[in-house]
Structure 1
Amino acid sequence: GEEKQTIMRLGNKGAGTMDFEISVGPGVPASSEWTGSIVPEPAKGGGSIIKVDPLSGHLAPGESRDIILTLGSPDAVCGTYSLCLYVSANDPQRPFAVIPVTLKINVPPAIEIKAPVGGDELHKECEIKWTATDPDDDNDDLLIDLAWTRDGSHWHELGRGLLNTGCFQWNTIAVRKAGETFRLRARATDPAGAQDEFVTGEFTIINLAPAADFGFAPPSPTVRDVVKFVDESTDDGWIVAWHWEFGDGCESFEPSPDHQYSEKGQFTVLLTVTDNGGLAATAEGTIEIVNLPPRVEIMRPRAGQALSGEATIEWKATDADDNQDALKITLEYRPEEGQAWQAIVSGGPNSGKHVWDTAELERGGKYRIRVTAADPEGASGAAISEEFTVIALTRMITAAPNPASERVTFYYDIDTDGELLVYDVAGRPVHMAKLWAAAKSYEWDLTRGGRPVANGFYLYVVITDSGERSEVGRLVIGRR
């Protein structure tokens, strides 16, 4: 139905001026589908399917001219035509030429959208249905373009060059924002380029608000734990924004953030999510940061240490979620495995040190200390020392260990300063040392003049400045 133009070029290759004249006549039908008729003289009648301009003229030697051929006509009947252009000229070598022309007068296709229609409400997945036909082409040769608009001016492509299947799955979530003024456009194009277009009435696309939800791990965190929060929200589209409020003044805009609390207690957590359609929802939950028990470390007494008289117990008690000064300390001792712990101090302050008078013990031997720290909520932590030795002084001075191999400690209880004397069994002096009454102990490395003393039996005694003299003790030195 449309007019299109093409050019035929005539040239004069002869030596003289060439006069030409062009006419149009019927030819053999191009196919069995040939219909309609032609006007033999297209320049004289309306509805011609071919027009020639100019119909005649002359050409100088070597000159050429473009002849404009207008093909088709809005008034022509559709179909396929076979024509001939007859060109005559006063050229003795080529006085006459016949140019066959085949024309197809095309009818545009027709398309109609069956669904959705104006007034419909769409949600998530829907099926676009249409019918597209072509009276002079195979319907399967039609190509379909689909587009949607919200405002009637800006069209968004759904598919271009689709096969004419009659249906197309459309996820309306892709429009991002719901509304009531949506339209669909379908366009069919035949092999010759002719088109038809159909636009629906206005319909509505529905967007449902998201369902906000979240989880976290671990389920019972402490201030030492990093809590992993996970968004578990659902939506008919997709979530595009997150706002977390952790209840302690901190917030995050990540989908699944990590957060560490600095205090114990219960906190209200809020998660607000926004979907691709601009709708928002909020989920609220409670997280409890549970109480963390204190930690205890014992520094003294050390493993293998020998104690006599007043000895210092030293510890370090800390609490990650409480003030350390609020901790209450219980000190206990146990003489042997399997026996009950005996209290030294119960509910004392967290001073870090306590002087323990081992002279109150009924006997010496191997002992352990247990230090327990309790916080204001009753959670407790404890530590047990390595085994140490308590020397029970039943006389003025004693030595331990005995036998000794590397060194020996003399434990004493004297009112005034004094002197330690060590002899071999022959009565020869081996070692002498000043003893300070307040020190309560003295350690000897079992050397004399920088050289180790020999293995064997030795005798020791203490003489105080006030003239007191201890009983003679026996010391065995046995190196391996």
Structure 2
Amino acid sequence: MQRRRWAILALLVLAVGTLTGCALFNQPPTANFTWTPSDPLARTDVQFTDLSTDTGGIVSWSWDFGDNGSSPSQNPKHEYEKGGTYQVKLTVTDGDGSLDTLQKTVTITPSLDGTWSGVMTDLNWNQWTLQLNLHHSASGGITGTMSRGNQTQVITSATFDPSSGEVQITSMIFGQTLRGTLNAAENRISGLWYDALAGWVGKDWSVNLQ
């Protein structure tokens, strides 16, 4: 009888050990992630880093960047075309098929980076082709060139307020300063231009991101 009890106990221990390795006793993973820079600009790379944990190891990652973009990579880079607020979701799956999903809000600051093309109207109601090539520098400033017709000059100063969308760009082309507002949803800048030398207000200008 004693021997039989020991045999039954051994079978129970074996059964529990087997079940412990099954999905029935598997601890699901915990999804987590971060991104850099913490305040990313539109049309620049955002580095997403997986911080998920699991006792047995994670075998797959599924990212939804909230702008119809996705990735199966563990630590992907992603570029947002427009400024705005995006809901980013990461779903991780472990070797036993258990999964977990985490969603975080990522705010993308509107950016002037890129080539903008459109028209500007002079005082005689003539329309000129206007092109802006703009770049946010590492120091936080904005550099680039302004072209009106067949004339191109380096931009001497440029300011941009992401919260209001207000833009001011000055070049030496006739001493003109462009003042306008960025429509982040449509990637369009429009406003009026000013002549700093003559001291008068010009006509309208408008450019779209190319």
Indicate whether the TM-score tops 0.5. Answer: yes
Question: Is 1:333 aligned with 2:196?
Answer: yes
Q: Does the 8 Å CA contact 2:60/2:72 hold for their aligned counterparts?
A: yes
Q: Deviations over 1:251-288 (max 9, x none)?
A: 10000100001111111111000011110000001111
Letter in 1 for 2:205: N
Which one of the candidate residues 181, 205, 209 is aligned to 1:350? 205
Letter in 1 for 2:52: S
Quote how far apart the aligned CAs of 1:220 are.
1.1
Which residue of structure 2 lines up, in the alignment, with residue 178 of structure 1? Answer: 23
Q: CA RMSD in A?
A: 3.8
Letter in 1 for 2:196: Y
Q: Deviations over 1:222-265 (max 9, x none)?
A: 11310001111111110000000001111100001000011111
Quote how far apart the aligned CAs of 1:333 are.
2.9
Which residue of structure 2 lines up, in the alignment, with residue 268 of structure 1? Answer: 87
Letter in 2 for 1:280: L
Unaligned runs of 5+ in 1: 1-112, 123-148, 151-171, 180-205, 303-312, 335-341, 353-480
Unaligned runs of 5+ in 2: 1-8, 112-159, 161-166
Quote how far apart the aligned CAs of 1:351 are.
5.8
Question: Residue 117 of structure 1 aligns to a residue in which SS?
Answer: helix
Q: Does the 8 Å CA contact 1:299/1:315 hold for their aligned counterparts?
A: no
Q: Deviations over 1:312-357 (max 9, x none)?
A: x4869896946576422352637xxxxxxx96328x52269xxxxx
% of aligned pairs identical?
Answer: 30
1:322–1:209 Cα change, 3 Å: closer
Which residue of structure 1 lines up, in the alignment, with residue 97 of structure 2? Answer: 278
Q: Does the 8 Å CA contact 1:247/1:267 hold for their aligned counterparts?
A: yes
Q: Deviations over 1:13-58 (max 9, x none)?
A: xxxxxxxxxxxxxxxxxxxxxxxxxxxxxxxxxxxxxxxxxxxxxx
Q: Deviations over 1:290-333 (max 9, x none)?
A: 1233473524137xxxxxxxxxx486989694657642235263
Q: Does the 8 Å CA contact 1:324/1:350 hold for their aligned counterparts?
A: no
Q: Does the 8 Å CA contact 1:210/1:280 hold for their aligned counterparts?
A: yes
Letter in 2 for 1:269: V
Letter in 2 for 1:253: P
Instruction: Please give the alpha-carbon distance, in whole angstroms, between the structure 2 residues aligned to 1:222 and 1:240.
Output: 31
Instruction: Please give the alpha-carbon distance, in whole angstroms, between the structure 2 residues aligned to 1:282 and 1:258.
Output: 19
Question: Residue 13 of structure 2 aligns to a residue in which SS?
Answer: coil
TM-score (structure 2 length as normaliser): 0.55
Number of paired residues?
145
Which residue of structure 2 lines up, in the alignment, with residue 229 of structure 1? Answer: 48
1:328–1:278 Cα change, 3 Å: same
Which residue of structure 2 lines up, in the alignment, with residue 249 of structure 1? Answer: 68
Question: Residue 274 of structure 1 aligns to a residue in which SS?
Answer: strand
Q: Does the 8 Å CA contact 1:212/1:233 hold for their aligned counterparts?
A: yes
Relative to its length, the structure with more helix (as a share) is 2
User: For 1:142-161, what aligned pairs fall within 5 Å after superposition?
Assistant: none
Instruction: Please give the alpha-carbon distance, in whole angstroms, between the structure 2 residues aligned to 1:351 and 1:240.
Output: 49
Q: Does the 8 Å CA contact 1:317/1:324 hold for their aligned counterparts?
A: no
Q: Does the 8 Å CA contact 2:80/2:108 hold for their aligned counterparts?
A: yes
User: For 1:63-78, what aligned pairs fall within 5 Å after superposition?
Assistant: none
1:351–1:224 Cα change, 3 Å: closer
Quote how far apart the aligned CAs of 1:115 are.
11
1:330–1:297 Cα change, 3 Å: closer
Instruction: Please give the alpha-carbon distance, in whole angstroms, between the structure 2 residues aligned to 1:271 and 1:288.
Output: 16
1:343–1:297 Cα change, 3 Å: closer
User: For 1:182-331, what aligned pairs fall within 5 Å after superposition?
Assistant: 206-292=25-111, 293=160, 294=167, 296=169, 298-301=171-174, 313=176, 321=184, 326-329=189-192, 331=194
Q: Quick one: higher RCO (CA 8 Å, sep 6+), 1 or 2?
A: 2
Moved more, 256-265 or 318-327: 318-327
Instruction: Please give the alpha-carbon distance, in whole angstroms, between the structure 1 residues aligned to 2:98 and 2:194.
Output: 61
Instruction: Please give the alpha-carbon distance, in whole angstroms, between the structure 1 residues aligned to 2:44 and 2:102.
Output: 23
Structure number with larger C-alpha Rg: 1
Q: Does the 8 Å CA contact 1:301/1:314 hold for their aligned counterparts?
A: no
Instruction: Please give the alpha-carbon distance, in whole angstroms, between the structure 1 residues aligned to 2:187 and 2:172.
Output: 17
Q: Deviations over 1:377-402 (max 9, x none)?
A: xxxxxxxxxxxxxxxxxxxxxxxxxx
Q: Does the 8 Å CA contact 1:269/1:287 hold for their aligned counterparts?
A: yes
Q: Does the 8 Å CA contact 2:29/2:55 hold for their aligned counterparts?
A: yes
Which residue of structure 2 lines up, in the alignment, with residue 437 of structure 1? Answer: none
